[in-house]
Amino acid sequence: MGIDLPLIWAVIIAFGVMMYVVMDGFDLGIGILFPFVRDDGERDVMMNTVAPVWDGNETWLVLGGAGLFGAFPLAYAVVLDALYLPLILMLLGLIFRGVAFEFRFKAKAAKRHLWDKAFIGGSLTATFFQGVALGAYIDGFEVVNRSFAGGAFDWLTPFSVFCGLALIVAYALLGCTWLIMKTEGRLQQQMHDMARPLVFVVLAVTGIVSLWTPFEHPAIAERWFSLPNLFWFMPVPVLVLLCTYALLRSVANNRNYSPFLLTLALIFLGYSGLGISLWPNVIPPSISIWEASAPPQSQGFMLVGALFIIPFILMYTAWSYYVFRGKVTVDDGYH
Amino acid sequence: MFGLEALDLARIQFAFTISFHIVFPAITIGLASYLAVLEGLWLKSGNTLYRDLYHFWSKIFAVNFGMGVVSGLVMAYQFGTNWSAFSDFAGAVTGPLLTYEVLTAFFLEAGFLGVMLFGWNRVGPGLHFFSTVMVAIGTLISTFWILASNSWMHTPQGFEIIDGRVIPVDWFAVVFNPSFPYRLAHMATAAFLATAFFVGASAAWHLLRGRDNPAIRKMLSMALWMALLVAPIQAFIGDLHGLNTLKYQPAKIAAIEGHWENVGDEPTPLILFGWPDMQREETRFKVEIPALGSLILTHSLDKQVPALKDFPPEDRANSTIVFWTFRVMVAMGLMMILTGLWGTWLRRGERLYTCRPFLHLAVWMGPSGIIAILAGWYTTEIGRQPWIIHGLMRTADASSGHSAAQLGFTLALFVVVYFVLFGAGIGYMLRLVRKGPKIDEGKEASEGGPGQPRTPARPLSAAEEGLEDGETDTLPERS
């Protein structure tokens, strides 16, 4: 055997989803923070801090969808079926926001507020339903005969709704620290003031989700709290607390870059925690990546293309961010 | 909901989202090749007119490309959300093909699109031309993959069924399945023609308003050469495609022809018009030409064409629909050929650019290619019914089983959101067209690139024009 193709594809897709969360997280966060910033000039700056990079996220979202289809068709079929409504609403939110983003630049001043509202609404809708989908995914799906056997509204639970709200806060923090890094002056100051309370809220919701999950799912509790696992996984919550502390310190010390980087670390830790809870299932609670995987002829065929092209996409992404380093100011908007 | 079953709604929803989507890639494919030709002519002749046209159309290309990406996002998920049983059954074949399609598109975006849209002043003319050509080829490679997937669903081969699921055994056979070469040629040519008529209509529109410059004339002239040369070729490819369909999906041909039964040994007539009635199992009010059906489809005067009654009722496609969608497509094709011929006639004595009746016709023919594409797709896809994968899986067994209420709700959302957003997008594209190509506009190419405000990841940023008329107070982007 040698090469474990399902594992490789699980890693590629997990990586793609994480790239998506990281890269779309902060620009969805900007949409969430938009209502708190009233000044038109500052809103322009907020838009300009993500304009050169925001579309990259779409790459990973489409790649994740298509990759899942090819590599784990069963998971693609069951999960997308079960999450029909939240996913459609999320996609519509993303489309709305994407088009609003572009047309805001091209609209006349008098009409711009309409596109602003579309941008805010799209960002909130997309984030909320992404969180709901995530919560429902953790809750797992009833599968009979290789197809989803639950009801149309199984995804709608107190837990999934809470996850939706939690993701809004988490993305708001990402957006907030991104703006601390990319802006200066009054806007940066405002973000500074918002960061501290946001960190506490994020810590609280992370704690609640982290406790709620094992409480509802004995298998996940077993994964975390049995020995010796407890010792192996202990670093995750410990690092979360350390990161949060460091994040609060860096905000207090008026740091520019570290708040964003530490928030990214927090997101990454949360993502790892999720991975630990669900591994090796691609359809929680019980269908593993090997059971749901496409035959090796399919996964191998796709891998050739993916290994050739994903490095290009990564290099291009890195280059974009490198070119776009530094602060964005109000003056930048004017030629 | 309106007497429609959940299955119908799932199909309508998929048809709606993909019909919106297909228009953008089709124009992308056509414009990319058109731009490559324009740039090639500019480099070869040094005539600035080609350069100006290149810059004019590249903005429209960029906006159109952006719309294609946004509407494509939904498509990556629609297979699973609406057709989960199909996705599980055939995902091992169609999933990798779809993945290759998106990988190709992203590869383009990450590489050559940036140089093409924003690198005019940054790289040498040779490298820029190379990038444009690569983008044009790339759009065709994307077409290649997605049509391989679609064609496989019409004429599947190269697979085995193990444990009730499709397992690919020979990728070459999967990709180069029997209907693939014809479908690819037919679709790519359709994209070229749709673009040519869009370009031609734009030129005619300006000429009718008295805006006349050599660039506008060149646009019309090039579009009409395409119509003259390529529309007949398309008819020929379509004929070959039809013969291929007759061989592999005879029930589809019978439905397209509204042909219910063969009488004795008589050759099959061609029904020009009529109303195929699925309940009464006959085509009512028909106008037919004896033996012409046999002549066209079998290229003989005695062989018969399979008839709908040769197939059990549950294996027949809805003839009422495909009979007419097919005729709409053919009518568009014939009109294109006629437009090409008339245009060529008018070239004598330079009347092409002044003959108002002809210019009006050219404007009206603007959407003809897009209508033909949609009608053609409806013909082939509805004609494939009741199968989602011909002979392997029925559409009724492929769906996710959402309730009609749920599907109706999301369909209504799609309709509202798509008309608002893509309506705005198409409106913006037409605005750019209305501005018309300006002499020397290619002198000031917009700058941009990865990590810059104008970036290939945001193709819409390539166009600077505002959404509305009036003073240009569009938001300045960071430079």
Residue A226: band (very low, low, confident or very high) from pLDDT cuts 50, 70, 90: confident
The rounded distance, in Å, linking the Cα atoms of B478 and A220 is 48
The set of residues, in sequence order, having a beta carbon less than 8 Å from that of A144 and lying 6+ positions away, is none
* Min distance B134 CA to chain A CA atoms (Å): 15
Please determine, for the modelled complex, whether the ipTM score is greater than 0.95.
no
Q: Which of A54-68, A197-211, B169-183, B222-236 has the lowest mean pLDDT?
A: A54-68
A297 vs B contacts (CB less than 8 Å): 92, 167-169, 171
Give the pLDDT band of residue B479 (cuts 50, 70, 90).
Answer: very low
Dihedrals φ, ψ of B113, to 5°? -60, -40
Q: ∠ at Cα A143 (A138, A145), nearest 5°?
A: 160
CB-based burial label for B341 (10 Å; 0-12, 13-18, 19+): middle
> Within 10 A of A102 (CB to CB), how many other CB atoms are there?
25
- Average pLDDT for residues B12-28, to the nearest whole number? 92
Contact A107 B402 (CB under 8 A): no
- For residue B393, the SS3 value is strand
pLDDT, tens digit, 9 for 90 and up, residues A62-74:
888 888 988 998 9
Check A84 against B81: CB less than 8 A apart: yes
Judged by CB atoms closer than 8 Å, whether chains meet at B461 and A320 is answered as: no
Chain A hits for B168, Cβ within 8 Å: 295, 297-298, 301
pLDDT at position B472 is: 41
Give the A window 234-253 contacts with B, CB below 8 Å: none
Nearest CA in chain B to A106: B466
| Residue A56 confidence (pLDDT) above 80 | no
**How many whole angstroms separate alpha carbon B110 and alpha carbon B450?**
8
pLDDT in tens, B328-359: 999 999 999 999 999 989 888 788 888 889 99
Report residue B314's pLDDT band, with 50, 70 and 90 as the boundaries.
confident
What pLDDT is stored for residue B181 in this prediction? Answer: 95
Q: In whole numbers, what is the pLDDT of chain A averaged over residues? A: 87
Average pLDDT over residues B86-110: 85
Say whether A103 and B474 touch across the interface (CB within 8 A).
no
Q: Do B84 and A78 touch (CB under 8 A)?
A: yes
What is the Cα–Cα distance from A81 to A148, expressed in whole angstroms? 7
- Residue A254's nearest CA partner among A325, A327, A321, A177 is A177
Cβ <8 Å between A73 and B88: yes
Mean pLDDT, residues A264-290 taken together = 88
> C-alpha distances in angstroms, A321 versus A31, A181, A285, A317, B185?
20, 13, 38, 6, 40
How far apart are the C-alpha atoms of A220 and A209, rounded to whole Å? 12
Is the preceding omega at residue B386 within 30 degrees of 0, hence cis? yes
Partners of A69 on chain B (C-beta within 8 Å) are 76, 79-80, 87, 91, 94-95, 98-99
Q: Which amino acid is at B203?
A: A
- pLDDT at position A335 is 29
| pLDDT 10s digits, B223-242 | 999 999 999 999 999 999 99
Write down the pLDDT at residue B468: 63
Q: Does B466 touch chain A (CB under 8 A)?
A: yes
pLDDT value of position B477: 42
Model confidence at B109, in pLDDT bands (50, 70, 90)? Answer: low
Per CB-CB distance under 8 Å, the chain A contacts of B417 are 92, 95-96
Question: How far is residue B363 from each of residues A85, B126, B196, B209, B242, measured CA to CA in Å?
Answer: 41, 35, 12, 12, 30
B383 or B3: which carries more pLDDT confidence?
Answer: B383
Mean pLDDT, chain B, whole residue set = 86
Q: According to the model, what pLDDT value does residue A144 have?
A: 86
Give the Cα separation of B250 and B253 in Å (integer).
5
Structure tokens at A66: 């298509």
Distance CA B424, CA A115 (A): 12
B90 interaction partners in chain A (CB closer than 8 Å): 73
Find the range with the poorest average confidence among A30-44, B65-79, B286-300, B459-473.
B459-473
Question: Can you give the pTM of this predicted structure?
Answer: 0.87
Q: Give me the total of CB pairs closer than 8 Å, taking one residue from chain A and one from chain B.
A: 262
Q: Which residues pair with A160 in a beta bridge?
A: none
For B80, which residue in chain A has the nearest alpha carbon? A77
- Between A151 and A168, name the one with better pLDDT: A168
**pLDDT given for residue B453 in this prediction:** 62
CA-closest candidate to residue A154, choices A135, A130, A131: A135
The answer on pLDDT for B476 being more than 60 is no
